[in-house]
Amino acid sequence: MHSVTTLPPITLDNLPLETPARILAVDWSALVAEEAQRLRALGLDVGARISVSHRGVWAGRDPLAITIGRMTVALRRVHAKAMTVEAI
């Protein structure tokens, strides 16, 4: 039952840097409709394999640079908070 490698699901803004993860769920209702559509168009949807490559430099460590496939996408913590991920 217990596995050392399995971590409990967390939101994307809490995912440590360079940790491969999979998006488990997205609370689309927490996002502005156009932004939700743009995130989906960029492939940030349930099932996507991602990792956090960089965090912003100023107070709040905002925004985040997400690696998805061979692409890097910048987004804000407010978007990352709506995404539940599990480390893989």
Partner 1 sequence: MTVVEAIRPAETTRLQRAALVGNPNAGKSALFNALTGARQKIANYPGVTVERKAGRLPLPTGETIELTDLPGSYGLDATSPDEEVTRRVILGELSGEAAPDVLIVVLDASNLEQHLVFAQEVIALGRPCVVALNMIDLAERDGLTLDPAALAQALGVPVIPTVAVRRRGLTELAEAIAEAHARVGAGSVHPRAHLDMAERRMEAHAIAGAAIISESAKHRLHSRLDQVLLHPWLGPIILFALLFVVFQAVFSWAKPFQDGLQGVVDLIIGFVKGEMPAGLLRDFITDGALSGVGAVVVFLPQIIILFFFILSLEASGYMARAAFLMDRLMAGVGLSGRSFIPLLSSFACAVPGIMATRSITDPKDRLTTILIAPLMTCSARLPVYGVIIAAVIPNTPMGPGGIIGLQGLVLFALYVAGIVGAMVVALLLRGTITKGKASGFIMEMPKYQMPRGRDLALGLFQRAWIFLRRAGTIIFQVAVILWLLLNFPRAEPGKDQVDASFAGHIANGLAVVVKPIGFNRDIALALIPSMAAREVAVSSLATTYAVSSSDEEKTDEALSAQLKKNWPLPTALAFLAWFVFAPQCMSTIAVTRRETNGWKWPSFMLAYLFGLAYLFAGITYWSALAFGL
Query: Which residues are near partner 1 by CB under 8 A?
Result: 32, 34-35, 37-43, 45, 53-60, 62-63, 65, 67-76, 78-79
- In order, the DSSP letters of 19-80 are --EEEEEE-GGGS-HHHHHHHHHTT-STT-EEEEEEE-SSTT--SEEEEETTEEEEE-HHHH
Minimum CB distance to partner 1, residue 27 (Å): 15
Which of residues 7 and 11 has its CB atom nearest to partner 1 in the complex? 11
The residue among 77 and 85 lying less far from partner 1, judged by its C-beta, is 77
